[in-house]
Amino acid sequence: MKVLVTGGAGFIGSNLCEHLLAEGHSVRVLDNFATGHIENLLPFFDTYNGRFELQVGDIRNLDDCKKAVEGMEYVLHEAALGSVPRSIKDPITTNAVNISGFLNMLVAARDAGVKRFVFAASSSTYGDSKTLPKVEDVIGRPLSPYAITKYVDELYADVFARTYGIEFIGLRYFNVFGRRQDPHGAYAAVIPLFFKQLKSLTAPVINGDGEFSRDFTYVDNVIQMNMLALETTNPDAVNQIYNVAFGERTTLNQLVGYMKEFMGEYDSRILDVEPVHGPNRLGDIPHSLACIDKAKSLLGYAPKYSLRDGLKEATKWYWENL
């Protein structure tokens, strides 16, 4: 396959690139390095010479998008500005990247005759829905500008499928974590941030009482789901939205306990580090748990990594790379 990965220098994008290249596919990355890192891509230039290329560009620029899809058969659209707090602080830029940029990519993919457009959606779309587990066709009102943008993307993809015949699959990621997830910066995700804090023997800060729960999802499960989305020949599986998760929920208090357990094997002093609690974060969903029956049924999804399995793998990577 010839696959364009937008946001390929980022956490999930670079992991997808690595897997695609290892499987023998050709990959082009479109990235403006707003949040991604060139270091995530450097090994690919030598190892996969001739099958990997980088285009520095911005999805907010339609010409960049059109150039990026030239000659590509498939698109994995990972480029976005993540983070609920970032979107609350700067909704205009979040909207420009996540909606206008997404629309540019859809138009470019349509005009280039791309076979399938697979994109990163978000569990934030469930908003204030109290239903657990989260089922794809039951959502609430969005709780942040970020959540609005990711829901609008789903609506645009559906309209493009019905109006222009584009094949799409949207993947609602649930709290993905793993190797290469950036622990630095104001909008670092909770797991890499806790890794950084615990390794330095700094008390991790939990928002609220720590009883909010999440369906934490190891990156290799996400890779599996993206590959299934690219490769499926089931006509009922396309033009659909899927949850991408493991299907178990864990509180933040439990999460810190597991991380201390695994990191304590490297430095026993970490076992004595106790978290501190701050205020609840604006826009946060209290509880998140995915129903993954649809993905199992239509795509054959079979996640291999539980939270604990993934944390073991991630602990080793962060210990060696932080």
- In the chain, the amino acid numbered 57 is G
The pairing of beta strand 26-31 with beta strand 168-173: unpaired
pLDDT > 80? residue 186: no
Mean pLDDT of 8-28: 98
The model's confidence at residue 313, banded by pLDDT at 50, 70 and 90, is very high
How high is the pLDDT of residue 282? Answer: 77
Please report which confidence band the pLDDT of residue 191 belongs to, taking 50, 70 and 90 as the band edges.
Answer: very high
pLDDT of residue 80: 97
Give 234's pLDDT tier (boundaries 50, 70, 90): very high
Give the CA count within 13 Å in the CB-facing half-sphere of 189: 19
Banded model confidence at residue 286, pLDDT cuts 50, 70, 90: confident
pLDDT at 226 over 80: yes
Residue 286: phi and psi, rounded to 5, are -60, -45
Q: Average pLDDT, whole number, for the chain?
A: 96
Q: What is the pLDDT of residue 43?
A: 94
Question: 205-207 and 276-278 as β-strands: parallel, antiparallel, unpaired?
Answer: parallel
Residue 284 pLDDT: 78
Catalytic positions: 146
Question: How far is the C-alpha of 127 from the C-alpha of 150, rounded, in Å?
Answer: 11
Cβ partners under 8 Å of residue 94, min gap 6: 81, 86, 87, 145, 146, 149
Strand ranges inside 26-68, DSSP E: 26-31, 52-56
The Cα 7–Cα 1 span in angstroms is 18
* pLDDT tens per residue across span 81-91: 999 999 999 99
Confidence of residue 163 (pLDDT cuts 50, 70, 90): very high
Mean pLDDT of 47-60: 95
Cis omega (within 30 of 0) for bond into 145? no
Q: What is the pLDDT of residue 97?
A: 98
What integer pLDDT is reported at residue 18 of this predicted model? 98
Are 121 and 171 within 8 A, CB to CB?
yes
pTM: 0.95
The pLDDT of 72-93, averaged and rounded, is 96
Strand blocks (E) in the chain: 2-6, 26-31, 52-56, 74-77, 116-122, 168-173, 176-177, 205-207, 213-214, 217-218, 240-244, 250-251, 276-278
**How would residue 280 be classed by pLDDT, with cut points 50, 70 and 90?**
confident
**pLDDT for 185 beyond 80:** no
